[in-house]
Structure 1
Amino acid sequence: MSGWNPGGQPPFDPQAGHRPQPGPYPPSPPNGPYPPPHGGHPPQIPHPYGPPPNGPRPYPPHPGPPPASGPFQRLRQRIGPIHTARRVFKPSRPGIVDDALVARVQKIRTFVGLGAVAWVSMSYKLANSLDGIVDDRTHQSWISVLMLCVTYPFAVGLLLALADPSARRELLRRAAKPFGAMVSIVAAMALFPALVLSGFAEGKFATNPGMTVVTFAVALLILGWVLPFIFWGVGLGLVYVFRTADIHETVPPLLAITLVWETTLVDLFTGAYAGVPGPLYALFLLGAPASVTAVGLWELHRLRAHRGIAVRDMLMRQPGPPS
Protein backbone atom coordinates (compact mmCIF):
# COMPACT_ATOMS: atom_id res chain seq x y z
CA MET A 1 0.00 0.00 0.00
CA SER A 2 1.37 3.39 -0.96
CA GLY A 3 0.58 6.96 0.04
CA TRP A 4 -0.96 7.88 -3.29
CA ASN A 5 -3.14 4.75 -3.34
CA PRO A 6 -4.83 4.66 0.06
CA GLY A 7 -7.27 1.96 -1.04
CA GLY A 8 -4.48 -0.52 -1.59
CA GLN A 9 -5.49 -1.42 -5.16
CA PRO A 10 -2.61 -2.38 -7.44
CA PRO A 11 -2.22 -0.32 -10.61
CA PHE A 12 -3.35 -1.79 -13.90
CA ASP A 13 -0.57 -3.60 -15.70
CA PRO A 14 -1.52 -4.77 -19.25
CA GLN A 15 1.41 -7.24 -19.39
CA ALA A 16 0.43 -8.88 -16.13
CA GLY A 17 -3.17 -9.06 -17.31
CA HIS A 18 -4.85 -8.09 -14.06
CA ARG A 19 -7.17 -5.19 -13.32
CA PRO A 20 -7.87 -3.39 -10.04
CA GLN A 21 -10.70 -4.73 -8.01
CA PRO A 22 -13.87 -2.61 -7.98
CA GLY A 23 -14.25 -0.28 -5.07
CA PRO A 24 -17.11 -0.14 -2.60
CA TYR A 25 -19.03 2.42 -4.75
CA PRO A 26 -20.48 1.62 -8.18
CA PRO A 27 -19.19 3.64 -11.15
CA SER A 28 -21.14 6.67 -12.30
CA PRO A 29 -23.17 6.43 -15.48
CA PRO A 30 -21.62 8.24 -18.46
CA ASN A 31 -24.38 10.87 -18.65
CA GLY A 32 -24.41 11.70 -14.94
CA PRO A 33 -27.04 10.76 -12.36
CA TYR A 34 -29.88 12.37 -14.37
CA PRO A 35 -31.26 10.79 -17.55
CA PRO A 36 -30.96 13.12 -20.53
CA PRO A 37 -34.20 14.56 -21.88
CA HIS A 38 -35.24 14.49 -25.50
CA GLY A 39 -32.52 16.05 -27.59
CA GLY A 40 -29.64 14.62 -25.59
CA HIS A 41 -28.90 17.77 -23.51
CA PRO A 42 -28.48 17.47 -19.78
CA PRO A 43 -31.31 18.90 -17.69
CA GLN A 44 -31.18 22.53 -16.58
CA ILE A 45 -31.09 22.65 -12.80
CA PRO A 46 -32.64 25.86 -11.49
CA HIS A 47 -30.26 28.12 -9.64
CA PRO A 48 -31.13 28.21 -5.95
CA TYR A 49 -30.98 32.04 -5.93
CA GLY A 50 -32.86 32.62 -9.15
CA PRO A 51 -36.34 34.17 -9.34
CA PRO A 52 -39.26 31.85 -8.60
CA PRO A 53 -41.43 30.83 -11.55
CA ASN A 54 -44.49 32.74 -10.35
CA GLY A 55 -42.95 36.19 -10.00
CA PRO A 56 -40.08 38.11 -8.40
CA ARG A 57 -38.52 36.81 -5.29
CA PRO A 58 -40.10 38.38 -2.19
CA TYR A 59 -37.19 40.01 -0.40
CA PRO A 60 -37.72 40.82 3.27
CA PRO A 61 -38.10 44.50 4.16
CA HIS A 62 -35.00 46.46 5.06
CA PRO A 63 -34.50 46.28 8.82
CA GLY A 64 -33.47 49.95 9.02
CA PRO A 65 -30.86 51.38 11.35
CA PRO A 66 -30.07 49.21 14.33
CA PRO A 67 -31.32 50.43 17.68
CA ALA A 68 -28.97 52.01 20.15
CA SER A 69 -26.83 49.33 21.76
CA GLY A 70 -25.99 50.93 25.08
CA PRO A 71 -27.68 53.08 27.71
CA PHE A 72 -25.55 56.11 26.80
CA GLN A 73 -26.54 55.87 23.14
CA ARG A 74 -30.22 55.49 24.03
CA LEU A 75 -30.01 58.49 26.35
CA ARG A 76 -28.26 60.55 23.65
CA GLN A 77 -30.96 59.71 21.10
CA ARG A 78 -33.65 60.63 23.60
CA ILE A 79 -32.39 63.90 25.07
CA GLY A 80 -29.32 64.85 22.99
CA PRO A 81 -29.36 68.38 21.54
CA ILE A 82 -29.07 67.35 17.88
CA HIS A 83 -31.68 64.59 18.12
CA THR A 84 -33.96 66.92 20.05
CA ALA A 85 -33.56 69.61 17.38
CA ARG A 86 -34.49 67.10 14.70
CA ARG A 87 -37.65 66.15 16.55
CA VAL A 88 -38.57 69.78 17.14
CA PHE A 89 -37.80 71.31 13.73
CA LYS A 90 -38.39 68.55 11.17
CA PRO A 91 -41.98 68.00 9.95
CA SER A 92 -43.57 64.78 11.12
CA ARG A 93 -47.20 64.84 10.00
CA PRO A 94 -48.36 61.33 9.00
CA GLY A 95 -48.52 60.89 5.23
CA ILE A 96 -46.41 63.95 4.47
CA VAL A 97 -44.73 64.03 1.04
CA ASP A 98 -40.94 64.38 1.10
CA ASP A 99 -39.18 65.01 -2.22
CA ALA A 100 -35.50 64.08 -1.96
CA LEU A 101 -34.62 65.77 -5.26
CA VAL A 102 -35.98 69.14 -4.13
CA ALA A 103 -34.09 68.87 -0.84
CA ARG A 104 -30.87 68.13 -2.74
CA VAL A 105 -31.31 71.15 -5.02
CA GLN A 106 -32.01 73.39 -2.02
CA LYS A 107 -28.80 72.25 -0.32
CA ILE A 108 -26.76 72.84 -3.48
CA ARG A 109 -28.24 76.32 -3.86
CA THR A 110 -27.51 77.08 -0.19
CA PHE A 111 -23.85 76.04 -0.41
CA VAL A 112 -23.30 77.89 -3.68
CA GLY A 113 -24.90 81.01 -2.21
CA LEU A 114 -22.75 80.86 0.93
CA GLY A 115 -19.60 80.40 -1.15
CA ALA A 116 -20.48 83.35 -3.37
CA VAL A 117 -21.20 85.60 -0.40
CA ALA A 118 -17.92 84.60 1.24
CA TRP A 119 -16.01 85.37 -1.99
CA VAL A 120 -17.63 88.79 -2.39
CA SER A 121 -17.10 89.65 1.27
CA MET A 122 -13.39 88.84 1.14
CA SER A 123 -12.81 90.36 -2.33
CA TYR A 124 -14.42 93.72 -1.58
CA LYS A 125 -13.35 93.91 2.08
CA LEU A 126 -16.90 93.64 3.38
CA ALA A 127 -15.50 91.41 6.10
CA ASN A 128 -11.98 91.52 7.53
CA SER A 129 -11.66 87.79 8.15
CA LEU A 130 -13.44 84.47 8.00
CA ASP A 131 -14.78 85.12 11.50
CA GLY A 132 -16.41 88.28 10.22
CA ILE A 133 -18.11 86.35 7.43
CA VAL A 134 -19.36 83.73 9.88
CA ASP A 135 -20.66 86.43 12.22
CA ASP A 136 -22.39 88.19 9.34
CA ARG A 137 -24.06 85.01 8.08
CA THR A 138 -25.07 84.04 11.63
CA HIS A 139 -26.58 87.48 12.17
CA GLN A 140 -28.47 87.29 8.89
CA SER A 141 -29.74 83.78 9.71
CA TRP A 142 -31.05 85.01 13.04
CA ILE A 143 -32.72 87.99 11.35
CA SER A 144 -34.37 85.54 8.94
CA VAL A 145 -35.62 83.47 11.87
CA LEU A 146 -37.12 86.54 13.54
CA MET A 147 -38.74 87.70 10.31
CA LEU A 148 -40.22 84.26 9.79
CA CYS A 149 -41.60 84.30 13.33
CA VAL A 150 -43.31 87.61 12.53
CA THR A 151 -44.56 86.50 9.11
CA TYR A 152 -45.90 83.16 10.29
CA PRO A 153 -48.93 84.45 12.29
CA PHE A 154 -50.03 86.59 9.36
CA ALA A 155 -49.68 83.66 6.97
CA VAL A 156 -51.70 81.38 9.26
CA GLY A 157 -54.35 84.07 9.70
CA LEU A 158 -54.65 84.50 5.93
CA LEU A 159 -54.87 80.74 5.50
CA LEU A 160 -57.64 80.44 8.09
CA ALA A 161 -59.55 83.29 6.48
CA LEU A 162 -59.45 81.64 3.05
CA ALA A 163 -59.88 78.03 4.17
CA ASP A 164 -63.11 76.14 4.41
CA PRO A 165 -64.77 76.88 7.77
CA SER A 166 -65.05 73.19 8.58
CA ALA A 167 -61.26 72.77 8.16
CA ARG A 168 -60.12 75.63 10.38
CA ARG A 169 -59.89 73.53 13.53
CA GLU A 170 -57.72 70.98 11.74
CA LEU A 171 -55.48 73.71 10.31
CA LEU A 172 -55.05 75.26 13.75
CA ARG A 173 -54.08 71.87 15.14
CA ARG A 174 -51.48 71.44 12.39
CA ALA A 175 -50.13 74.96 12.96
CA ALA A 176 -49.36 74.21 16.63
CA LYS A 177 -46.09 72.33 16.06
CA PRO A 178 -44.53 74.97 13.79
CA PHE A 179 -45.47 77.60 16.34
CA GLY A 180 -43.91 75.49 19.09
CA ALA A 181 -40.68 75.20 17.08
CA MET A 182 -40.48 78.98 16.77
CA VAL A 183 -41.13 79.48 20.47
CA SER A 184 -38.42 76.95 21.37
CA ILE A 185 -35.69 78.65 19.33
CA VAL A 186 -36.66 82.12 20.57
CA ALA A 187 -36.70 80.89 24.19
CA ALA A 188 -33.28 79.27 23.77
CA MET A 189 -31.85 82.49 22.36
CA ALA A 190 -33.50 84.59 25.08
CA LEU A 191 -31.62 82.56 27.69
CA PHE A 192 -28.35 84.40 27.00
CA PRO A 193 -29.54 88.00 27.55
CA ALA A 194 -31.44 86.76 30.60
CA LEU A 195 -28.22 85.34 32.09
CA VAL A 196 -26.35 88.58 31.34
CA LEU A 197 -29.04 90.92 32.69
CA SER A 198 -29.50 88.87 35.85
CA GLY A 199 -25.78 88.84 36.60
CA PHE A 200 -25.67 85.05 36.52
CA ALA A 201 -23.04 85.07 33.74
CA GLU A 202 -20.71 87.18 35.92
CA GLY A 203 -21.00 84.81 38.87
CA LYS A 204 -23.26 87.04 40.92
CA PHE A 205 -25.02 84.09 42.54
CA ALA A 206 -21.86 82.05 43.26
CA THR A 207 -21.74 83.21 46.88
CA ASN A 208 -21.08 79.80 48.44
CA PRO A 209 -19.66 76.45 47.32
CA GLY A 210 -23.13 75.08 46.54
CA MET A 211 -24.09 77.96 44.26
CA THR A 212 -20.65 77.82 42.65
CA VAL A 213 -21.31 74.22 41.67
CA VAL A 214 -24.75 75.23 40.36
CA THR A 215 -23.25 78.05 38.28
CA PHE A 216 -20.65 75.71 36.83
CA ALA A 217 -23.31 73.10 36.00
CA VAL A 218 -25.49 75.70 34.24
CA ALA A 219 -22.50 76.87 32.19
CA LEU A 220 -21.76 73.29 31.14
CA LEU A 221 -25.42 72.76 30.23
CA ILE A 222 -25.43 75.88 28.06
CA LEU A 223 -22.20 75.03 26.28
CA GLY A 224 -22.93 71.34 25.83
CA TRP A 225 -26.67 71.37 25.10
CA VAL A 226 -28.21 74.79 24.46
CA LEU A 227 -25.64 76.05 21.94
CA PRO A 228 -25.72 72.88 19.75
CA PHE A 229 -29.52 72.94 19.92
CA ILE A 230 -29.59 76.58 18.75
CA PHE A 231 -27.16 76.14 15.85
CA TRP A 232 -28.76 72.92 14.68
CA GLY A 233 -32.24 74.32 15.22
CA VAL A 234 -31.60 77.50 13.23
CA GLY A 235 -30.27 75.46 10.32
CA LEU A 236 -33.13 72.97 10.34
CA GLY A 237 -35.65 75.75 10.93
CA LEU A 238 -34.56 77.60 7.80
CA VAL A 239 -34.27 74.47 5.66
CA TYR A 240 -37.70 73.13 6.67
CA VAL A 241 -39.21 76.61 7.17
CA PHE A 242 -39.99 75.70 10.77
CA ARG A 243 -41.74 72.44 9.82
CA THR A 244 -44.63 74.30 8.19
CA ALA A 245 -45.10 71.27 5.92
CA ASP A 246 -47.05 69.91 8.90
CA ILE A 247 -49.76 72.35 7.79
CA HIS A 248 -49.52 71.52 4.07
CA GLU A 249 -46.75 70.58 1.67
CA THR A 250 -47.15 73.81 -0.31
CA VAL A 251 -46.72 76.13 2.69
CA PRO A 252 -42.87 75.87 3.00
CA PRO A 253 -42.06 77.01 -0.57
CA LEU A 254 -44.58 79.83 -0.35
CA LEU A 255 -43.20 81.02 2.98
CA ALA A 256 -39.60 80.67 1.75
CA ILE A 257 -40.35 82.87 -1.26
CA THR A 258 -42.03 85.47 0.95
CA LEU A 259 -39.21 85.40 3.50
CA VAL A 260 -36.38 85.80 0.98
CA TRP A 261 -37.97 88.87 -0.60
CA GLU A 262 -38.52 90.38 2.85
CA THR A 263 -34.83 89.79 3.62
CA THR A 264 -33.87 91.39 0.32
CA LEU A 265 -35.82 94.52 1.23
CA VAL A 266 -34.01 94.65 4.58
CA ASP A 267 -30.63 94.31 2.81
CA LEU A 268 -31.63 97.03 0.36
CA PHE A 269 -32.52 99.57 3.06
CA THR A 270 -29.62 98.69 5.37
CA GLY A 271 -26.91 98.74 2.68
CA ALA A 272 -25.81 95.14 3.12
CA TYR A 273 -23.42 95.15 0.11
CA ALA A 274 -22.13 98.69 0.22
CA GLY A 275 -18.88 99.02 -1.71
CA VAL A 276 -19.69 96.37 -4.30
CA PRO A 277 -19.79 97.62 -7.94
CA GLY A 278 -23.23 98.23 -9.45
CA PRO A 279 -23.75 95.15 -11.65
CA LEU A 280 -22.31 92.80 -9.01
CA TYR A 281 -24.36 94.54 -6.33
CA ALA A 282 -27.56 93.88 -8.30
CA LEU A 283 -26.48 90.29 -8.87
CA PHE A 284 -25.92 89.55 -5.20
CA LEU A 285 -28.93 91.52 -4.04
CA LEU A 286 -31.32 89.78 -6.43
CA GLY A 287 -29.53 86.46 -6.84
CA ALA A 288 -30.76 84.96 -3.59
CA PRO A 289 -34.45 85.86 -4.00
CA ALA A 290 -34.41 84.84 -7.67
CA SER A 291 -32.87 81.44 -6.93
CA VAL A 292 -35.13 80.77 -3.93
CA THR A 293 -38.18 81.80 -5.96
CA ALA A 294 -37.14 79.54 -8.84
CA VAL A 295 -36.61 76.57 -6.52
CA GLY A 296 -39.90 77.27 -4.71
CA LEU A 297 -41.90 77.47 -7.94
CA TRP A 298 -40.20 74.31 -9.20
CA GLU A 299 -41.08 72.53 -5.95
CA LEU A 300 -44.72 73.61 -6.30
CA HIS A 301 -44.69 72.33 -9.89
CA ARG A 302 -43.29 68.95 -8.82
CA LEU A 303 -45.88 68.64 -6.08
CA ARG A 304 -48.66 69.33 -8.56
CA ALA A 305 -47.29 67.27 -11.46
CA HIS A 306 -45.90 64.24 -9.62
CA ARG A 307 -47.92 64.14 -6.40
CA GLY A 308 -51.20 65.75 -7.39
CA ILE A 309 -50.87 68.37 -4.62
CA ALA A 310 -51.80 71.95 -5.55
CA VAL A 311 -51.75 75.21 -3.60
CA ARG A 312 -55.54 75.36 -3.48
CA ASP A 313 -55.57 72.01 -1.65
CA MET A 314 -54.29 73.61 1.56
CA LEU A 315 -57.59 75.51 1.81
CA MET A 316 -59.32 72.13 2.23
CA ARG A 317 -62.38 73.32 0.36
CA GLN A 318 -64.89 70.72 -0.64
CA PRO A 319 -65.58 70.50 -4.39
CA GLY A 320 -68.91 72.01 -5.38
CA PRO A 321 -71.74 69.98 -6.83
CA PRO A 322 -71.53 69.33 -10.57
CA SER A 323 -73.51 71.76 -12.68
Structure 2
Amino acid sequence: MPVGLIPVLLPFLLLLSPLVALYSIARGARLTAWRLFVRGGAPVPVHDPQVARLKTLRTWAAVAVSIAVVAALGSLRDLDQHLTEHWATLLLTPWLLIASGPVVLGVLIWLAPPTRRATMRAALRGPLRQLGLFFGTLALIPALFYGLDLLNPSHVGGNLGTLLILACVVAGMWSVFLFLFASATVARTGFGTAAVHPATPALLTSVLVWEIAAIGGLPNGPPVLAYVLLVGGPATVTALSCWEISRLRSRYGVRLRG
Protein backbone atom coordinates (compact mmCIF):
# COMPACT_ATOMS: atom_id res chain seq x y z
CA MET A 1 0.00 0.00 0.00
CA PRO A 2 1.41 3.45 -0.89
CA VAL A 3 2.40 5.46 2.18
CA GLY A 4 0.38 8.43 0.96
CA LEU A 5 -2.88 6.45 1.20
CA ILE A 6 -2.47 5.64 4.88
CA PRO A 7 -3.73 9.05 6.17
CA VAL A 8 -6.70 8.80 3.80
CA LEU A 9 -7.66 5.24 4.79
CA LEU A 10 -6.92 5.62 8.50
CA PRO A 11 -10.39 7.02 9.42
CA PHE A 12 -12.08 4.15 7.54
CA LEU A 13 -9.83 1.60 9.24
CA LEU A 14 -10.62 3.08 12.64
CA LEU A 15 -14.32 2.99 11.79
CA LEU A 16 -14.18 -0.63 10.65
CA SER A 17 -12.00 -1.93 13.48
CA PRO A 18 -14.90 -2.35 15.97
CA LEU A 19 -16.89 -4.28 13.35
CA VAL A 20 -13.88 -6.51 12.60
CA ALA A 21 -13.39 -7.11 16.33
CA LEU A 22 -17.10 -7.93 16.76
CA TYR A 23 -16.96 -10.34 13.81
CA SER A 24 -13.90 -12.06 15.29
CA ILE A 25 -15.63 -12.48 18.65
CA ALA A 26 -18.81 -13.84 17.00
CA ARG A 27 -16.81 -16.19 14.75
CA GLY A 28 -14.90 -17.59 17.72
CA ALA A 29 -18.16 -18.20 19.60
CA ARG A 30 -19.70 -19.88 16.55
CA LEU A 31 -16.73 -22.23 16.16
CA THR A 32 -16.92 -23.11 19.85
CA ALA A 33 -20.65 -23.88 19.58
CA TRP A 34 -19.97 -26.06 16.54
CA ARG A 35 -17.24 -27.99 18.37
CA LEU A 36 -19.45 -28.53 21.41
CA PHE A 37 -22.75 -29.44 19.78
CA VAL A 38 -21.90 -30.75 16.29
CA ARG A 39 -18.39 -32.16 16.14
CA GLY A 40 -18.47 -33.22 19.78
CA GLY A 41 -21.93 -34.77 19.49
CA ALA A 42 -22.99 -38.18 18.34
CA PRO A 43 -22.94 -38.75 14.57
CA VAL A 44 -26.28 -38.72 12.78
CA PRO A 45 -27.20 -42.37 12.08
CA VAL A 46 -28.91 -41.61 8.73
CA HIS A 47 -28.21 -38.73 6.36
CA ASP A 48 -30.56 -38.41 3.38
CA PRO A 49 -29.22 -35.82 0.88
CA GLN A 50 -32.62 -35.41 -0.81
CA VAL A 51 -34.34 -34.66 2.48
CA ALA A 52 -31.57 -32.22 3.40
CA ARG A 53 -31.92 -30.39 0.08
CA LEU A 54 -35.69 -30.16 0.40
CA LYS A 55 -35.37 -28.83 3.96
CA THR A 56 -32.99 -26.13 2.73
CA LEU A 57 -35.39 -25.26 -0.11
CA ARG A 58 -38.31 -25.07 2.31
CA THR A 59 -36.34 -22.79 4.65
CA TRP A 60 -35.46 -20.34 1.88
CA ALA A 61 -39.04 -20.47 0.57
CA ALA A 62 -40.30 -19.53 4.04
CA VAL A 63 -37.84 -16.63 4.18
CA ALA A 64 -38.95 -15.46 0.73
CA VAL A 65 -42.64 -15.61 1.71
CA SER A 66 -41.98 -13.66 4.91
CA ILE A 67 -40.08 -10.95 3.02
CA ALA A 68 -42.79 -10.77 0.35
CA VAL A 69 -45.58 -10.41 2.92
CA VAL A 70 -43.74 -7.71 4.87
CA ALA A 71 -42.86 -5.86 1.64
CA ALA A 72 -46.41 -6.02 0.31
CA LEU A 73 -48.49 -5.40 3.43
CA GLY A 74 -46.14 -4.27 6.15
CA SER A 75 -44.24 -1.22 7.26
CA LEU A 76 -40.97 -0.58 9.04
CA ARG A 77 -42.74 -1.27 12.32
CA ASP A 78 -43.96 -4.63 11.00
CA LEU A 79 -40.44 -5.45 9.85
CA ASP A 80 -39.09 -4.68 13.31
CA GLN A 81 -41.79 -6.85 14.86
CA HIS A 82 -40.99 -9.68 12.44
CA LEU A 83 -37.30 -9.57 13.33
CA THR A 84 -38.15 -9.49 17.04
CA GLU A 85 -40.37 -12.56 16.63
CA HIS A 86 -37.56 -14.33 14.76
CA TRP A 87 -35.13 -13.77 17.63
CA ALA A 88 -37.78 -14.75 20.17
CA THR A 89 -38.37 -18.01 18.28
CA LEU A 90 -34.63 -18.70 18.22
CA LEU A 91 -34.38 -18.28 21.98
CA LEU A 92 -37.63 -20.13 22.69
CA THR A 93 -36.95 -23.22 20.56
CA PRO A 94 -34.33 -24.87 22.84
CA TRP A 95 -36.68 -24.60 25.82
CA LEU A 96 -39.55 -26.10 23.85
CA LEU A 97 -37.16 -28.90 22.87
CA ILE A 98 -36.31 -29.46 26.53
CA ALA A 99 -40.02 -29.64 27.35
CA SER A 100 -41.16 -31.73 24.37
CA GLY A 101 -38.10 -33.90 23.81
CA PRO A 102 -38.58 -36.21 26.82
CA VAL A 103 -42.19 -36.86 25.78
CA VAL A 104 -41.27 -37.77 22.19
CA LEU A 105 -38.29 -39.86 23.28
CA GLY A 106 -40.37 -41.59 25.95
CA VAL A 107 -43.03 -42.56 23.39
CA LEU A 108 -40.38 -43.88 20.95
CA ILE A 109 -38.69 -45.94 23.66
CA TRP A 110 -42.06 -47.27 24.81
CA LEU A 111 -42.97 -48.27 21.23
CA ALA A 112 -39.63 -50.02 20.66
CA PRO A 113 -39.26 -53.77 21.22
CA PRO A 114 -38.02 -54.66 24.73
CA THR A 115 -34.69 -55.81 23.28
CA ARG A 116 -34.03 -52.32 21.86
CA ARG A 117 -35.07 -50.23 24.86
CA ALA A 118 -31.87 -50.66 26.83
CA THR A 119 -29.77 -49.55 23.84
CA MET A 120 -31.98 -46.51 23.26
CA ARG A 121 -31.83 -45.52 26.91
CA ALA A 122 -28.05 -45.85 26.84
CA ALA A 123 -27.93 -43.54 23.79
CA LEU A 124 -29.58 -40.82 25.90
CA ARG A 125 -26.17 -40.02 27.38
CA GLY A 126 -25.28 -37.97 24.29
CA PRO A 127 -28.36 -35.70 24.38
CA LEU A 128 -28.06 -35.32 28.15
CA ARG A 129 -24.44 -34.25 27.72
CA GLN A 130 -25.46 -31.66 25.14
CA LEU A 131 -28.23 -30.48 27.46
CA GLY A 132 -25.67 -29.97 30.23
CA LEU A 133 -23.39 -28.06 27.85
CA PHE A 134 -26.30 -25.87 26.77
CA PHE A 135 -27.10 -24.97 30.36
CA GLY A 136 -23.39 -24.29 30.80
CA THR A 137 -23.38 -21.75 27.96
CA LEU A 138 -26.35 -20.03 29.60
CA ALA A 139 -24.78 -20.04 33.07
CA LEU A 140 -21.54 -18.62 31.67
CA ILE A 141 -23.17 -15.22 30.98
CA PRO A 142 -24.16 -14.35 34.58
CA ALA A 143 -20.98 -16.01 35.88
CA LEU A 144 -18.81 -13.66 33.83
CA PHE A 145 -20.76 -10.58 34.91
CA TYR A 146 -20.62 -11.73 38.54
CA GLY A 147 -16.87 -12.19 38.16
CA LEU A 148 -16.63 -8.70 36.69
CA ASP A 149 -18.49 -7.33 39.71
CA LEU A 150 -16.15 -9.15 42.10
CA LEU A 151 -13.04 -8.12 40.22
CA ASN A 152 -14.20 -4.50 39.81
CA PRO A 153 -11.45 -3.53 37.35
CA SER A 154 -12.31 0.17 37.70
CA HIS A 155 -10.66 0.15 41.13
CA VAL A 156 -7.38 -1.09 39.67
CA GLY A 157 -6.77 2.04 37.62
CA GLY A 158 -4.16 2.71 34.98
CA ASN A 159 -3.50 0.60 31.93
CA LEU A 160 -4.06 -2.64 33.85
CA GLY A 161 -7.58 -1.59 34.85
CA THR A 162 -8.37 -0.60 31.27
CA LEU A 163 -7.13 -3.94 29.95
CA LEU A 164 -9.14 -5.84 32.56
CA ILE A 165 -12.31 -3.93 31.70
CA LEU A 166 -11.74 -4.57 27.98
CA ALA A 167 -11.09 -8.28 28.61
CA CYS A 168 -14.26 -8.58 30.67
CA VAL A 169 -16.34 -6.82 27.99
CA VAL A 170 -14.93 -9.08 25.28
CA ALA A 171 -15.56 -12.18 27.42
CA GLY A 172 -19.14 -11.07 28.12
CA MET A 173 -19.85 -10.45 24.44
CA TRP A 174 -18.31 -13.81 23.53
CA SER A 175 -20.48 -15.60 26.09
CA VAL A 176 -23.66 -13.97 24.71
CA PHE A 177 -22.71 -14.94 21.15
CA LEU A 178 -21.90 -18.46 22.34
CA PHE A 179 -25.36 -18.85 23.87
CA LEU A 180 -27.06 -17.52 20.72
CA PHE A 181 -25.10 -19.85 18.42
CA ALA A 182 -25.64 -22.74 20.84
CA SER A 183 -29.40 -22.05 20.76
CA ALA A 184 -29.42 -22.06 16.96
CA THR A 185 -27.33 -25.24 16.82
CA VAL A 186 -29.38 -27.30 19.28
CA ALA A 187 -32.56 -26.10 17.57
CA ARG A 188 -31.21 -27.61 14.35
CA THR A 189 -29.78 -30.81 15.84
CA GLY A 190 -32.37 -31.41 18.56
CA PHE A 191 -29.61 -31.93 21.16
CA GLY A 192 -28.37 -34.91 19.16
CA THR A 193 -31.51 -36.98 19.83
CA ALA A 194 -31.10 -38.72 16.45
CA ALA A 195 -28.63 -41.00 18.24
CA VAL A 196 -31.57 -42.44 20.21
CA HIS A 197 -33.81 -42.90 17.17
CA PRO A 198 -33.26 -41.55 13.63
CA ALA A 199 -36.87 -40.36 13.40
CA THR A 200 -36.64 -38.19 16.54
CA PRO A 201 -35.56 -34.94 14.78
CA ALA A 202 -38.45 -35.16 12.31
CA LEU A 203 -40.98 -35.84 15.06
CA LEU A 204 -39.61 -33.07 17.28
CA THR A 205 -39.66 -30.60 14.39
CA SER A 206 -43.33 -31.34 13.72
CA VAL A 207 -44.23 -30.85 17.37
CA LEU A 208 -42.18 -27.67 17.71
CA VAL A 209 -43.61 -25.82 14.69
CA TRP A 210 -47.16 -26.28 15.96
CA GLU A 211 -46.18 -25.22 19.47
CA ILE A 212 -44.47 -22.08 18.14
CA ALA A 213 -47.48 -21.32 15.93
CA ALA A 214 -49.82 -21.66 18.93
CA ILE A 215 -47.63 -19.41 21.09
CA GLY A 216 -47.08 -16.80 18.38
CA GLY A 217 -50.73 -16.44 17.40
CA LEU A 218 -52.03 -14.95 14.17
CA PRO A 219 -49.57 -12.98 11.99
CA ASN A 220 -50.36 -9.47 10.84
CA GLY A 221 -52.35 -8.97 7.67
CA PRO A 222 -55.80 -9.79 6.27
CA PRO A 223 -57.54 -12.63 8.19
CA VAL A 224 -57.47 -15.10 5.29
CA LEU A 225 -53.77 -14.54 4.64
CA ALA A 226 -53.01 -14.62 8.37
CA TYR A 227 -54.64 -18.04 8.78
CA VAL A 228 -52.88 -19.35 5.66
CA LEU A 229 -49.52 -18.24 7.07
CA LEU A 230 -50.36 -19.57 10.54
CA VAL A 231 -51.32 -23.05 9.32
CA GLY A 232 -49.32 -23.25 6.08
CA GLY A 233 -45.87 -23.07 7.65
CA PRO A 234 -46.37 -25.83 10.26
CA ALA A 235 -48.34 -27.92 7.74
CA THR A 236 -45.52 -27.90 5.18
CA VAL A 237 -42.96 -28.74 7.88
CA THR A 238 -45.14 -31.61 9.12
CA ALA A 239 -45.61 -32.94 5.58
CA LEU A 240 -41.85 -32.82 5.04
CA SER A 241 -41.27 -34.64 8.34
CA CYS A 242 -43.78 -37.34 7.38
CA TRP A 243 -41.99 -37.78 4.05
CA GLU A 244 -38.66 -38.02 5.87
CA ILE A 245 -40.02 -40.71 8.20
CA SER A 246 -41.46 -42.56 5.20
CA ARG A 247 -38.06 -42.52 3.48
CA LEU A 248 -36.39 -43.76 6.66
CA ARG A 249 -38.73 -46.75 6.56
CA SER A 250 -38.63 -47.47 2.82
CA ARG A 251 -34.96 -46.77 2.05
CA TYR A 252 -33.15 -47.42 5.32
CA GLY A 253 -35.40 -49.87 7.11
CA VAL A 254 -35.90 -47.58 10.13
CA ARG A 255 -39.29 -48.00 11.78
CA LEU A 256 -40.87 -46.04 14.59
CA ARG A 257 -41.31 -49.29 16.51
CA GLY A 258 -37.64 -50.14 16.21
TM-score by length of 1: 0.60
1:233 to 178, 182, 186: 182
Q: What are the Cα deviations for residues 67-90 of structure 1, in whole angstroms up to 9, with x where unaligned?
A: xxxxxxxxx9xx953333223333
SS at match of 2:130: helix
- Aligned partners of 1:253 and 1:296 also within 8 Å: yes
Change (3 A) 1:127 1:178: farther
Q: CA 1:150/1:94 → structure 2, altered by over 3 Å: closer, same or farther?
A: closer
Higher normalized helix content (fraction of residues): 2
Letter in 1 for 2:250: A
Which structure would you say has the larger Rg? 1
The runs of 5 or more residues in structure 2 that have no matched partner are 1-23
Identity %: 27
Q: Is residue 291 of structure 1 aligned with residue 236 of structure 2?
A: yes
Which structure 1 residue ranges, 5 or more long, are not aligned?
1-75, 314-323
Distance 1:112 1:231, change over 3 A: farther
- Number of the residue aligned with 1:152: 101
Deviation at 1:260, TM superposition (A): 1.0
Question: CA offsets per residue over residues 134-164 of structure 1, 9 Å max, x none?
Answer: 3321111211221111111223333344444
Give SS of 1:128's match: helix
Match of 2:20 in 1: none
Letter of the aligned partner of 1:283 in structure 2? V
Q: Distance in 2 between matches of 1:230 and 1:95?
A: 23
Matched, 1:216 2:166: yes
SS of structure 2 residue aligned to 1:97: coil
Aligned residues: 230
> In the alignment, which of 172, 175, 192 is matched to residue 124 of structure 2?
175
Deviation digits for residues 279-320 of structure 1, max 9, x if unmatched?
A: 10111101111111011011111111111112111xxxxxxx
Q: Deviations over 1:180-223 (max 9, x none)?
A: 32343343244445666x4948x955321456544422321343
Which residue does 1:308 correspond to in 2?
253
Equivalent positions of 1:246-257 (< 5 A) are 246-257=195-206
Work out whether 1:282 is the aligned partner of 2:227.
yes
2:64 aligns with: 115
Partners of 1:257 and 1:199 in 2: how far apart?
A: 41
Separation in 1, partners of 2:197, 2:80 = 38
